[in-house]
Chain A
Amino acid sequence: GAVVSQHPSWVICKSGTSVKIECRSLDFQATTMFWYRQFPKQSLMLMATSNEGSKATYEQGVEKDKFLINHASLTLSTLTVTSAHPEDSSFYICSGTGAGGSHEQYFGPGTRLTVT
């Protein structure tokens, strides 16, 4: 149980365009979802925390107007990278909590974004 999916698994886009990444909790209701960014050979960096129906809380240094997060339902959160640039190329991972009451995070498989 407690499965999280992400779509797409990889995406290539041109500089200046926007790209949306979806994160879905398949078998539980994710009251809270987290978005992480991971650079090659590095650890996960938390970008933002979102609660269903509320505005996301962004970590210091993360541009909220560039990384738009929507958590409109208990099973879906989206991350939109607006006006993407090559430096936004990264591995984006989401996670959700809410299953079983332990607040453990369940991670998605990640989305590889390449901006050309």
Chain B
Amino acid sequence: AQSVTQPDIHITVSEGASLELRCNYSYGATPYLFWYVQSPGQGLQLLLKYFSGDTLVQGIKGFEAEFKRSQSSFNLRKPSVHWSDAAEYFCAVGPYSSASKIIFGSGTRLSIRP
């Protein structure tokens, strides 16, 4: 079955600390992987995406993610978080070859401790 698992429902980190949000996926075909961020009451903003190439992907706002095929993981990282990073983060997987539906994880809510 195709699925995306974000095991952490809520994470709190101190401002300036490093961050890692976990994402594991199960997908039959070659996955097209995404991380989105959603601020309260807002739509989704794409942070980064990966289909092929270098397994370490750089995104916007200082975020990066590493694709590990052997672990079926696509964890999101940031070396130093800012208070403005507080939001909901969604990992997602979909097909590259067609405009078909994306499967979203359940999301991880990030809170920043001053």
**Known: A43-B90, A43-B106, A103-B96. Contact between A112 and B41, CB under 8 A?**
yes
Contacts of B2 in A (CB 8 A): none
Does B69 touch A at the CB level, under 8 Å?
no
**Shortest Cβ gap from B25 to chain A (Å):** 14
Contacts of B45 in A (CB 8 A): 107
Closest to B90 in A: A43
**Known: A44-B90, A93-B44, A107-B44. Contact between A102 and B96, CB under 8 A?**
yes
Which residues of B, 65-114, contact A by the 8 Å Cβ criterion?
A: 90, 94-102, 104-107, 109
Q: Are the CB atoms of B43 and A34 closer together than 8 Å?
A: no
Does A77 touch B at the CB level, under 8 Å?
no
Number of interface residues of B (CB under 8 A): 26
**Shortest Cβ gap from B53 to chain A (Å):** 13
Partner of B49, one of A32, A46, A49, A104: A104
Q: With the chains together, A30 CA to B106 CA distance in Å?
A: 26
**Known: A103-B95, A103-B96. Contact between A49 and B42, CB under 8 A?**
no
Closest to A103 in B: B99
For A35-56 the 0/1 string (1 means CB < 8 A from B) is 0000001111010010000000
Report which B residues bind A (CB closer than 8 A): 32, 34, 36, 41-46, 49, 51, 90, 94-102, 104-107, 109
